[in-house]
Amino acid sequence: MGIDMGTTNIAALIVEIPSGDVRAVSVVPNDSEITGEEDRLRGRSEWDAERAAELAFKAAAEAAARVDPQMIRGIGVTGQMHGVVLVSEDGRPLTPFIGWQDKRCDEKMPGSDRTYIDYMIELAGRDGFRREGCRPATGYMGSTLFWLKENDALPDEPATPCFLPDYIVMRMTGHKPITDPTNAGSSGIFDVVSRRWDSSLIGRLGLQRVHLPEVRRSGEVIGGLTAEASKKMGLPCGVPVSVACGDNQASFLGSVSDRRSSLLVNIGTGGQVSLWVPEYIEVRDVETRCYLDESYLLVGADTCGGGSYALLHRFFLNVGRVFFGAKGDEILYERMMSCASKVPPGADGLRCEPFFSGSRLDPHRRAAWLGMSESNFTAAHMIRALLEGIADHFRALYEVMIKSGVSPRRCLVGSGNGIRRNALLAEILSAVFNMPIKIPLNREEAALGSALLAAVGCGEISLEEASKLIKYE
């Protein structure tokens, strides 16, 4: 069984080994966000970790009810990376889960023109983040811990920061919080070369008193289901549970059958372009993330994706409500895709920069449509230009990877609902990358990847054998 703690939905999936056939899937809406309206306008993103755990148990129980629960041999968990929830020594959440979309670290520090991220970079020094595989960014665990420290908001009692998927595993097993290199590497304070917490950087940031979780090998079994968790999930007590992994890496495992020749583009709320490399390398403007073995993924991740498309959808709803008396709750995505498909490639010269909430490298960057004329100032052209802008941005990140010396890939794999539900975006991506695109047969790629990793951790198959089980439409 694999469980994916997504931002929008929480999915549980059961896969049969060694056939790779998916036997059951359950998806429940993730309604655990508790961000108030005022805080939302300030860019906050806060969630109830305990509610998220209950939803994970519910999804697992629904999936388990569709098969013989006694057949479940192992459980893997994945989910949104970067964010943090602090838990007490007895496992109680002491803070909300502060998610990856949280913008508080882009705020100016009191009495200063610099942001919290600026100050982190200043304290770290010129090469302070060089071995982290990424630059610090708002929403990352290390950045949020720094904000909490600077604002005297860390809990008074002993606390361990953990990622949301690690909290779910803790709730399943009763074990103390444990993480793996794929999640730890998303914190911004983890040395991805040595695969250890970067004690030197942590000290320079003043976070040395924070008790960070132990790091175990990806897929390693860390305990069995407790009696309480087994009752809620409808599974036998003691089923082995593996340490959680990052959703980017789980999606790669659950989508890519040949990691040496494939390029993965995942479009959800945000988006990533990912390719596998056998060893650590540094690439400008691209993150180097630990993969599930001793290798790495080069990842160009950014905020533009399905969220940008949803904002345009919201704009059209507002136009309908203001000018035509529409209710404003209509679903226009199919109509948007249909009318944009009639616009030729290039949108008759209209271009879009789809960065409504900034980019990873420039949080102050904003969206724009450029090259407007009498002939292309239409809704259909705006839609097509936005989709092409998303594709162009991730193509540019891929080109940065290739210029670093990485061998070009031959096949594009598209995953995430932003691609699955938008055939036009899949077509545009294939044209922009000049590669054939393959869509995995299973829709819950990250959940499948975490289930396959659990099978690896339980000794059922190897990581290479797990990849060969991926099927395409």
Q: What pLDDT does residue 360 have?
A: 78
- Which pLDDT score is estimated for 357? 85
pLDDT tens per residue, range 405-424: 999 999 999 998 899 999 99
Helices 379-403 & 306-324 angle (0-180, nearest 10): 170
Place of tokens 């070369």: 193
DSSP string, 358-406: --SS-TT---EEES--TTT-SHHHHHHHHHHHHHHHHHHHHHHHHHTTP
Structural domains for the chain:
2-249+444-464 (3.30.420.40), 257-439 (3.30.420.40)
pLDDT in tens, 32-89: 999 999 999 999 999 999 999 999 999 999 999 999 999 999 999 999 888 999 999 9
Tracing tokens 């409808």 back to the chain, one arrives at 234
Which segments in the chain show pLDDT lower than 70?
none
Nearest-CA neighbor of 413 among 282, 260, 186?
260
Question: DSSP secondary structure string, 315-369?
Answer: HHHHHHHHHH---S----HHHHHHHHTTSPTTGGG-EEE--TT--SS-TT---EE
- Token output for 381: 């052209």
pLDDT of residue 269: 85
Global confidence as pTM: 0.92
User: What tokens does 316 get?
Assistant: 């059209």
Q: What is the pLDDT of residue 449?
A: 98
pLDDT score for 270: 87
> Tell me, what's the pLDDT at 284?
87
On the 0-12 / 13-18 / 19+ scale of CB atoms within 10 A, 348 is middle
* Rounded Cα gap, residues 163 and 246, in angstroms: 9
Report pLDDT for 232. Answer: 97
- Give the pLDDT score at 361: 80
